[in-house]
Amino acid sequence: MSSVYVFDHPLIQHKLTFIRDKNTGTKEFRELVDEVATLMAYEITRDMPLEEIEINTPVATCKSNVIAGKKVGLVPILRAGLGMVDGVLKVIPTAKVGHVGLYRDPETLQPVEYYVKLPTDIADRELIVIDPMLATGGSAVAAIEALKKRGAKHMKLMCLIAAPEGVKVVQDEHPDVDIFVAKVDEYLNDHGYIIPGLGDAGDRLYGTK
């Protein structure tokens, strides 16, 4: 069974409040999502292994730590996942970025895949699958399946807000994938929206609808 980590850092929780607020406009929404993504990336990389190397400072030689281990790959689920990519790249600038395009059919709520483009070496990378919303879990499960089918082995899932229903579905289908969220909300409504949530993440990021 995978673990669920909730980032309770005050800065993340504060910004999330204004992301949720319906009076927050597109520009500010986008900026806040970007900022929270940076803070979440800082937390999600806590377990990265380090190794010591020797360097020369201007006045002495010393041993100092650098990140070791697997390289990182970011995989936003289009389109709303895109809103978090630049924020993560601020702290992991060398990460490669793959894209999985999925939309949720409004009637069936089932994910429909329309685009997959990934770095060639995903099998060797520590992947972070990114989507602000984990609702029914259908999109996340489908994206992770699409990645595994193409050779991916190590993955984390990073979301802003999750519904308990979506968390359970991902844990049941992909027990090897840990989930990192800013908040697990109360429930899904009959239209598959997270309550209280933030509405439609893609529409709020890009000003559609």
> Mind telling me the catalytic residues?
104, 108, 200, 203
Return the one option of ligand PRP, ligand URA, none that residue 103 interacts with (CB less than 5 to 8 A, by type): ligand PRP
CA distance linking residue 163 with residue 22, whole number of Å = 19
What is the contact mask toward ligand URA in residues 124 to 143, using x (rule: CB under 6 A)? ---------x-x--------
Which residues lie below 8 Å from residue 80, measured CB to CB, with a gap of 6+?
A: 131, 132, 133, 201, 202, 205
Report the 10 Å Cβ neighbour count for 160: 30
3-state secondary structure of 28: helix
Return the one option of ligand URA, ligand PRP, none that residue 137 interacts with (CB less than 5 to 8 A, by type): ligand PRP
Return the one option of ligand PRP, ligand URA, none that residue 193 interacts with (CB less than 5 to 8 A, by type): ligand URA
Asked whether position 33 contacts ligand URA by CB under 6 A, the answer is: no
| CA angle (206 as vertex; 201, 208 as ends), nearest 5 | 90
Residue nearest to ligand PRP (CB): 202
102 within 8 A of 93, measured Cβ to Cβ: no
Binding site for ligand PRP (CB under 6 A): 77-80, 103-104, 109, 111, 131-140, 166, 192, 200-202
